[in-house]
Amino acid sequence: MRKKNSKALLTIFIFVIIILLAACENSSAKSDNHGNNQSPDHTSDEEIHDSSEENVTETVSNKEMDTKEETEKTSDQLPEEKEETTANDTTTNQKETYLNKLNETNEKTESMEAVDSSTYALKDVAHKQYEAWDDLLNEIYGVLEKQLSAEEMSQLRKEQRDWITHRDKTAKEASLEYEGGTMEQLEYVTVLANETKERCYELVEVYMQ
């Protein structure tokens, strides 16, 4: 009876040990599988993190370079200096522009030729020359109205009225040499054109800033 009980206990003991060993093997296998499954994800997270840090570092570096370049470009010249330089350049260019216009108009008027030698044809050329210079004079006068102060413009208006009187008087006196002849009107218009031309140059060279 005791032998039977011993054998039964031994059998139960062995069976329990087998179950425990099987359970340990299953647990070990699950642990390995879990570790293998987790490893790629963990590595991927590290790679993504490193890549993000590199991108952020590169972006910050590029921004710092751009900021440095902009600072170097603007540090050499203050805003006030820039505005003053731009204003001076604009004024200089405007004066040069009208000096060029004067020279172009001078070449244009001097190249005008009468279709024939008749007094009528000569007077037609003189009228066209006078109109060209008179149009340019009005344009220059308009520019000066914007450039000059109120006091300076008031003084210029007075001078301009005096000049007109002088121009007309000079032209009339010159034409009287041919009073009653066919050249009287031609001389009058020719002098008007010449006087207006000289006034255009004077206004640009003396008054235009």
pLDDT 10s digits, 75-110: 454 444 444 444 445 545 889 999 999 999 999 999
Query: How much is the pTM?
Result: 0.57
User: What separation in angstroms does the CA of 32 have from each of 22, 24, 26, 46, 209?
Assistant: 15, 12, 10, 21, 90
Query: What was the pLDDT predicted at 43?
Result: 43
pLDDT 10s digits, 139-194: 999 999 999 999 999 999 999 999 999 999 999 999 999 999 999 999 999 999 99
Helices assigned H by DSSP within 111-149: 119-147
Query: What was the pLDDT predicted at 20?
Result: 73
CB contact at 8 A, 167 and 196 = yes
CB contact at 8 A, 189 and 127 = yes
Does pLDDT of 204 surpass 90?
yes
**Domain assignments of the chain as residue spans, ordered by start:** 1-76, 79-207
Fill in the amino acid letter for 32. D
Query: What was the pLDDT predicted at 164?
Result: 97
Fill in the amino acid letter for 9. L
Helices assigned H by DSSP within the chain: 2-75, 79-110, 119-147, 150-175, 184-202
- The position carrying tokens 């902009």 is 70
Q: Please tell me the least confidently modeled range out of 10-14, 71-75, 180-184.
A: 71-75
Mean pLDDT across the chain: 77
Query: What was the pLDDT predicted at 180?
Result: 92
| Sign of CA pseudo-dihedral 148, 152, 154, 156 | negative
Query: What was the pLDDT predicted at 133?
Result: 98
In degrees rounded to 5, what are phi and psi of residue 78?
Answer: -75, 160
Among 203, 86, 95, CA closest to 156:
203
CB contact at 8 A, 208 and 94 = yes
Query: What was the pLDDT predicted at 172?
Result: 97
